[in-house]
Structure 1
Amino acid sequence: MVKQKTIKTEISLTGVGLHTGKEVKMTFKPAPVNNGFTFVRVDLEGHPIIEADANYVVNTQRGTNLEKLGVKIQTPEHVLAALVGCDLDNVIIELNASELPIMDGSSKYFVEALEEAGVEEQTANRNVYVVKEVISFTDEASGSEILVMPSDHYTVTTMVDFGTKILGTQNATLKNIGDFKTEIASSRTFSFLHELESLLDNGLIKGGDLNNAIVYVDKEISASTMENLKVAFDKETISVKPNGILDNLTLHYPNEAARHKLLDVIGDLALIGTKIQGKIIANKPGHFVNTQFAKKMAKMIKIEQRNYVPVYDLNQEPLMDIHKIMAMLPHRPPFLLIDRIIEMSDSHVVGMKNVTMNENFFVGHFPDAPVMPGVLIVEAMAQTGGILVLSTVPDPENYLTYFMKIDNVKFKHKVLPGDTLTFKCDLITPIRRGICHMQANAYANGKLVAEAELMAQIAKKQQ
């Protein structure tokens, strides 16, 4: 299993927003496991957090725009592409404005900053969604389509055709995410002249200049338009190059437009919130079709994860039997609620309990219709997690485990006599000073029966 990754140290960049023209300071900061990519508006009271989540997409006009409880994040796609391209999982992005800096219109400067910050491997395993069948989304209005099919790796192919002679048909492919820096990151955003005129008329692209956007001239430039462009770009003269783009800029690649569309696809699909193992093919991609596809994928993954039940061989020799458990845990019957430990690593533990009619709690808990009390399922999950945290000290018999906090508890199905419960506890943050913060799930009969976020601490017994 591949471990999750964050950056080693924080690093800041400053620039202007392409559409707002406002100067913005952006700081990348290390984040804990399972944090994902989150934006923090440090210029607003309470420093509200907006997760990089497709469900927060509110519009895709001239970029991807997020909004949560009235707080906005504008054009995050180039930064998100850089985070994915650097193979990161958990990063906090602090901003003192709503729009991220455009820089040169690519992901190049973000990648360089992240590389300077360094990469740090974390304790938890990376969650990857393995595509098992073709999944697609088509925008009937534009004819844009994006799909993913099964593959051994994450690859992306984009095909663009804007129906203009100046740009023509272009393709781009990224076969390995490790090649993002050299093949895709420096590809800049682009616009057509007819779009530019509309944007200028509506007071947009206030932070634009000829150094952060390729402008394809798809129509004859009138004298008035030429004067407007001079003012907008603060240039004394503007002309059109023989290859049909405005001057003062040289293409990095003949198919730079297709490569930038590929960059946008990677950034927008980061909003799924889970890394994908599959082959992405996008025909005439745009932010609308990208983010609609991301929403569809996120919903599918959430449903599958909700219904996912890990399978363990309960007949194999356990890692710890009841004797070894009692040698570590201070609990004793009738309040010892786990029978075996099946597996354990530095970041997770799996335990098991056979529920029988002989349990003491069935004497008073609906004896005519016995149901295992939900609070005891939570306690059993905590005892399983206790094995994990006690295994970090050389003398666990001299420690006791105490609850500190229980959050997000949900009971999904009844647990009855004859059921076999399995408990899986995964660390949310590394164990520090004897404090264990974990996500705990309980399964029975091929279903998730309970879940909770638990925090506990071990303390030495008083002599």
Structure 2
Amino acid sequence: MHTKQHTIKSPITISGTGLHTGVKVNLTFRPDDIDSGIRFKRIDLPDQPIIEADADLVTDISRGTTLSKGEAKVSTVEHVLAALVGLQIDNVMIELDAAETPIMDGSSILFIEALEEVGLQEQNALRNFFEVPEGIFYYDDAKNVEMAALPVDDYRVTVMIDYNSKVLGSQHASLNNITDFKRDIASSRTFCFLHELQYLYNNNLVRGGDLNNAIVVVDKLIEPKELDELAVLFNKPKIEVKEEGILNNIDLRHKNEPARHKLLDVVGDLALVGRPIKAQILAARPGHSTNVEFAKKIKKVIKQTEKAAPKYNPLEAPVMDIEGISSMLMHRYPFQLVDKIIHQDHKTVIGIKNVTINENFFQGHFPNNPVMPGVLQIEAMAQTGGILVLSTVENPSNYWTYFLGIDNCKFRRMVKPGDTMVLKCELMAPIKRGIAKMIGTAYVGNHIVSEATLTARIVKKEEV
């Protein structure tokens, strides 16, 4: 999997027809900035409103996934989203001049081919993976759906479907590596049963449907007269039914194409979590409604995880050891207060401070009741944040870091000898003119011991 964020090198437009509206639509993928995510823009509407690819913005899942924000909406987004996930594209603006994405051939492959035509552009920021910490489970007894996300250092998906149909039978499909998405999953087309098709058409839907962009499963006896009516409906001279029960003798691209398409839908709908996922996804009999509910549940777990203390495994190799820290920060004993860095990306850094009875400040700070001074906890946070800020410049040893402000500072628990402080600093906004504003939090175990909003500036030594 890509470790850095990606966008595309240049815009690319793809045109087609909306599956349900039958309206002609032009869709343009445009490069976007770091951390922008996947967004849709309705350029046909006043003020060109933007709708984020977010599970909380889903307003309809009846025959596809629809996002809405205010009066603006965009429908049938799952195939486009699946293509972006399959190519590991993080940041892109998708412009549309209608309310529905084009159905194309009913799969994701034409979107992938268009995106590959312009190529991907690596961006100078790490991807913000959500690594599932423990099993996340979702059940819908009414729909007989079960879904799970299990911990694994990768993104894998397995789907099982069973429609109690002699034509389809029970099928399953698996994606063991996201790099195999194009080859194994992307070309799998959407499908429906004939009785569903007739219902949808009678309810003014699938106006853009065609026998070239969907697999229609015939699960009942059909009279010649009904075939003639379908031929008129689809503007075809003749419609036939294969022995296998596929309308108009369409050849399947894969023996288990319906199961593969359901997997494609799961990948697309789970993009609405808003972050790339590391997990083993298992789904039994999923649909758009349950996919979206599962995405919302994962989002809730992400929010809970972000509030929790960062996980620290002392056996794992650090991102930066004490030698690396000393080469970047000018602090030395007794004021070097960070022992190692265990995580760092473009906006977050996590450091470790092991507190021992041998700290020099315990000689005078309550020697009979040793407690780490609160101001030194803040200093340890600031030094951790300094690593993040100095990482944005060349030759960081040529710079000094200075405090400009400390706000909203709170001390919640005492820090004593034997404690291991986990120090997390997160940028509140991009660094400008060498000035950084960060939220700093110090943990011992699962408890917050201190927190503050820190403002600092880096200055070249020659300017001091």
Q: With structure 2 as the length reference, what TM-score do the two structures score?
A: 0.77
Superposition map of 1:160-239 within 5 A: 160-222=161-223, 225-239=226-240
The DSSP-based 3-state class of the residue aligned with 1:58 is strand
Q: For residues 171 and 445 of structure 1, what CA distance do their matches in structure 2 show? A: 42
Distance, in Å, in 2 between the alignment partners of 1:88 and 1:6 is 5
Q: Where does 1:350-365 land on structure 2 (aligned, <5 Å)?
A: 350=350
- Asked if 2 retains the 8 angstrom alpha-carbon contact of 1:190 and 1:216, the reply is yes
What's the counterpart of residue 21 of structure 1?
Answer: 22
Is there any run of 5+ residues in structure 2 with no aligned partner, and where? 362-372
**Change over 3 Å in CA distance of 1:132–1:113 after alignment to 2:** same
Secondary structure of the corresponding residue to residue 301 of structure 1: helix
Determine if contact 2:57/2:69 at 8 Å carries over to the other structure.
yes
8 Å Cα contact 1:192/1:216 also seen in 2: yes
Query: Take 2:225 and 2:435, find their aligned partners in 1: how far apart are those partners?
Result: 68
Indicate the residue corresponding to 1:295 in structure 2: 296
Deviation at 1:120, TM superposition (A): 3.2
Preserved contact between residue 66 and residue 74 of structure 2 (Cα < 8 Å): yes
How far residue 79 of structure 1 moved from its aligned partner, in angstroms, is 1.3
Identical amino acids, percent of aligned pairs:
46
In the superposition, relative to structure 1, how do residues 113 and 247 fare at CA in structure 2: closer, same or farther (>3 Å)? same
Aligned pair count reads 440
Distance of aligned partners of 1:320 and 1:240 in 2 relative to their CA distance in 1, 3 Å threshold: closer
1:33-58 per-residue CA deviation (whole Å, 9 max, x = no partner) reads 43332223233334333222222222
Q: Which residue is 2:126 aligned to?
A: 124
- Residue 182 (structure 1) shift: 0.9
Residue aligned with 1:278, SS? strand
Match of 1:6 in 2: 6
How big is each residue's C-alpha offset from its partner over 1:59-101, in whole Å with a ceiling of 9 and x where there is no partner? 2111112223343221111111111211233333222222111
Question: Contact (CA 8 Å) 2:129, 2:275: kept in 1 or not?
Answer: yes
Counterpart code for 1:43: D
* Root mean square deviation of aligned Cα: 4.4
Please, which moves more after superposition, 25-34 or 389-398? Answer: 389-398
What is the CA distance between 1:32 and its match in structure 2?
3.5
CA separation in 2, counterparts of 1:227 and 1:451? Answer: 72
Q: Is the 8 A contact 1:7 1:117 kept in 2?
A: no
Take 2:79 and 2:374, find their aligned partners in 1: how far apart are those partners? Answer: 50
In structure 2, give the amino acid aligned to 1:197: Q
CA deviations on 1:138-183 (whole Å, 9 max, x unpaired) are: 2222212222334454322222221222222222222222211111
- Amino acid across the alignment from 2:253: H
CA distance in 1, matches of 2:234, 2:153: 46
The equivalent of 2:424 in structure 1 is 424
Matches of 1:416 and 1:43, distance apart in 2: 58
Q: 1:44 corresponds to which letter in structure 2?
A: L
Displacement of 1:458 in angstroms is 5.5
Offset of 1:448 from its aligned partner?
A: 4.8
* Partners of 2:380 and 2:111 in 1: CA distance: 45
Partner letter of residue 5 of structure 2?
Answer: K
Change (3 A) 1:213 1:383: same
Shift of 1:4: 2.9
Deviation, structure 1 residue 438: 6.6
Say if 2:25 and 2:102, in contact at 8 Å, map to a contact too.
yes
> What are the ranges of 5 or more consecutive residues in structure 1 without an aligned counterpart?
329-335, 359-370
Aligned to 1:96: 97
Q: Quick check: 2:85–2:268 contact (8 Å CA) kept in 1? A: yes
Q: Distance in 2 between matches of 1:248 and 1:420?
A: 67
Q: Which amino acid aligns with 2:6?
A: T
